[in-house]
């Protein structure tokens, strides 16, 4: 005679009641889900010996499989939502709703349908105690559940596995929905947290989540460990390296403080600092943001959104505006490398994803964005869009533009430069804007535009008659101030700086970056040097209290 499925389950539960081992019973006995008096956890019954009864009953069960012995809370849950979520989870269904009958903390653990009175718990416990196991009814800080994981959803994302591949440990329910049971097996705690498989190096996460660039990313490959100083960067895992933590370096699947992206911390930068403070990664990035000139990542919280326009319309900056944590890897300060997989804006003002050049990342905020601060120097031809400083129609600019079109000329005549710079070199924004204590200035600090003791995030000082920033590339032919060059008339004799006459980014109207500082110079006319010639330009200016009426560079 063949037994029905219900009859088989009845036999299993009867065996459990009699203490006869079955596979599920044997697996759960040594886990926290054994709420009987024999359970190993601190939350357990004061005298009840049956194990399965807290969830299942062969008779008088709820009309839910598998022979469910609990009622649902009947309350309303707040589901996960974010701008990057393509699914739209509603109220919990299926296995997830059953799990929540304990884990939302609204129903007593000992309240089962097969008993007329509650099973007494030890220590005065009634509902799930406050802690990692109590999710509450606000599920907005938990991995989304109870949504249809379809091939259409996976295709739209481009970073999700097709549901047809989820035939192993990670499975959808009979309705094709992602549920708690897709990741958790309530009867087996072999891998900890009742996971269906090991999540070492986020193997479980990567069953579904197939992030672009991830195969070469530092967060996947780095074997850096925590040195034991400061705060533990991985308090909710047992893994001990960056690679072993992988996704969980930044993310937490349940009760995540940073709800919208299930981040370990609500403040965006606080997800980066636990490792990038010198205690896991050698270079201490966190201290750079305490310098007088810095990208102010702590100034705003919750404004950045991955779905925002490429041109930042609301003034803010976060680490992820410049770095893609799923893609970032070692390398020079231009893609590929730390800026890999980041959006940008081209020299023409067109959004691009991903950016190909460092300046395209900078243009997201420093070009067409509104509400930028006023330029530090008021100039004859003044404007507040850095992208326009480098367009190819300008008569001169520092040559950062390198996407195939001819760059605007640098100076006229050609400069004499410090090796290895030549008149055909291409610059990066980071050649001038960088850490004052980084290798570009002979230091050992981290590379990048995180912070500097110099204004405008400059790598070197830009003050005085021979600014160190300019002398990094320009030889004494251009920075000699004790005679021997036309510059000495301006710098050595009257104490002008490079900034008095030159715009360091570019000049729309004049060669040689000429664009006078109007706080020091009253501009009337200016005739630049003839192409290929030096010192034959003429000025009609008033500066240092003296009128120059059509004077040559040296005659006045």
What is the pLDDT, as a whole number, of residue 8? 40
- pTM for this entry: 0.89
What is the pLDDT, as a whole number, of residue 493? 65
What is the pLDDT, as a whole number, of residue 532? 52
What is the pLDDT, as a whole number, of residue 18? 33
Dihedral of CA atoms 542, 546, 549, 553 in degrees, nearest 10, equals: -90
Beta 451-452 vs 293-294: how paired, if at all? antiparallel
- What percentage of the chain carries pLDDT values higher than 70? 87
**At 551, is the pLDDT very low, low, confident or very high (cuts 50, 70, 90)?**
confident
For the chain, the C-alpha Rg in angstroms (whole number) is: 33
Q: How many helices (H) and strands (E) does the chain have?
A: 15, 11
**At 549, is the pLDDT very low, low, confident or very high (cuts 50, 70, 90)?**
confident
Q: How far apart are CA 417 and CA 415, in angstroms?
A: 6
Render pLDDT for 480-505 as a digit per residue (tens, 0 to 9): 444 445 666 677 667 788 898 899 99
Tallying the residues shown for the chain, one arrives at 556
Instruction: Find where tokens 């050595």 sit.
Output: 492
Q: How far apart are CA 375 and CA 523, in angstroms?
A: 18
Average the pLDDT over each of 8-17, 30-39, 534-543 and give the range with the smallest value: 8-17
| Cis peptide preceding 354, ω within 30 of 0 | yes
| Cis peptide preceding 61, ω within 30 of 0 | no
H helices present in 330-438, as ranges = 358-366, 386-389
What is the pLDDT, as a whole number, of residue 10? 43
What is the pLDDT, as a whole number, of residue 14? 40
**At 163, is the pLDDT very low, low, confident or very high (cuts 50, 70, 90)?**
very high
What is the pLDDT, as a whole number, of residue 553? 63
| Cis peptide preceding 552, ω within 30 of 0 | no
Render pLDDT for 366-408 as a digit per residue (tens, 0 to 9): 999 998 888 889 999 988 999 999 988 888 888 888 655 566 7
Render pLDDT for 310-337 as a digit per residue (tens, 0 to 9): 999 999 999 999 999 999 999 865 677 9
Beta 521-527 vs 546-552: how paired, if at all? unpaired
The contacts of residue 213 (CB under 8 Å, 6+ apart) are: 324, 326, 327, 340, 341
Q: Judge contact between 193 and 182, C-beta under 8 A.
A: no
Q: How far apart are CA 446 and CA 283, in angstroms?
A: 6
């Amino acid at each position: 005679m063949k037994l029905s499925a219900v009859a088989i389950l009845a036999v299993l539960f009867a065996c459990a009641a009699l203490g006869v081992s079955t596979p599920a019973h044997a697996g759960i006995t040594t886990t926290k889900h054994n709420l009987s008096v024999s359970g190993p956890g601190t939350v357990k019954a004061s005298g009840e010996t049956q194990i399965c009864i807290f969830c299942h009953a062969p008779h008088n069960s709820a009309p839910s499989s598998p022979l469910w012995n609990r009622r649902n809370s009947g309350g309303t849950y707040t589901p996960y939502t974010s701008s990057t979520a393509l699914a739209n989870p509603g109220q919990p269904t299926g296995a997830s709703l059953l799990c929540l009958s304990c884990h939302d903390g609204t129903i007593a653990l000992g309240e089962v349908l097969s008993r007329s009175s509650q099973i007494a718990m030890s220590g005065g416990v009634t509902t799930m105690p406050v802690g990692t196991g109590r999710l509450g009814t606000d599920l907005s800080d938990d991995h989304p559940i109870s949504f249809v994981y379809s091939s259409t959803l996976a295709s739209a994302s481009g970073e999700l596995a097709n549901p047809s591949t989820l035939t192993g440990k990670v499975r959808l329910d009979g309705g094709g929905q992602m549920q708690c049971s897709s990741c958790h097996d309530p009867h087996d705690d072999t891998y900890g947290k009742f996971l269906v498989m090991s999540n070492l190096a986020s193997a479980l996460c990567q069953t579904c989540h197939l992030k672009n660039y991830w195969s070469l990313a530092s967060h996947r490959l780095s074997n850096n460990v925590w040195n034991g100083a400061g705060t533990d960067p991985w308090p909710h895992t047992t893994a001990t390296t960056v690679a072993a933590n992988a996704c969980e370096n930044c993310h937490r699947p349940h009760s995540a403080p940073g709800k919208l992206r299930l981040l370990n911390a609500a403040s965006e930068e606080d997800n980066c600092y636990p490792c990038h403070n010198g205690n896991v990664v050698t270079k201490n990035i966190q201290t750079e943001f305490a310098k007088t000139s810095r990208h102010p990542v702590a100034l705003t919280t919750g404004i950045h959104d991955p779905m925002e326009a490429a041109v930042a319309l609301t003034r803010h900056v976060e680490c992820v505006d410049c770095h893609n944590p799923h893609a970032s890897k070692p390398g020079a300060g231009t893609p590929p490398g730390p800026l890999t997989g980041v959006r940008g804006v081209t020299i023409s003002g067109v959004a691009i994803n991903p950016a190909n050049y460092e300046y395209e990342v900078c243009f997201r905020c420093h070009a067409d964005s509104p509400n930028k601060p006023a330029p530090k120097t008021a100039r004859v031809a003044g404007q507040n869009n850095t992208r326009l400083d480098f367009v190819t129609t300008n008569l001169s600019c520092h040559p950062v533009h390198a996407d195939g079109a001819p760059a605007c000329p640098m100076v006229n005549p050609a400069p004499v430069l410090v090796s290895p710079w030549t008149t055909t070199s291409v610059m990066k924004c980071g050649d001038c804007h960088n850490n004052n204590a980084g290798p570009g200035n002979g230091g050992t600090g981290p590379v990048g535009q995180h912070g500097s003791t110099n204004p405008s995030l400059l790598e070197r000082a830009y003050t005085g008659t021979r600014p160190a920033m300019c002398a990094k590339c320009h030889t004494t032919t251009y920075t000699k101030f004790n005679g021997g060059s036309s510059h000495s008339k301006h710098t050595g004799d009257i104490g002008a700086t490079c900034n008095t006459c030159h715009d360091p980014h570019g000049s729309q109207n004049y060669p040689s970056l000429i664009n006078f500082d109007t706080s020091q110079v009253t501009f009337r006319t200016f005739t630049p040097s003839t192409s290929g010639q030096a010192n034959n330009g003429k000025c009609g200016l008033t500066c240092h209290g003296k009128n120059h009426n059509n004077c040559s560079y040296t005659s006045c």
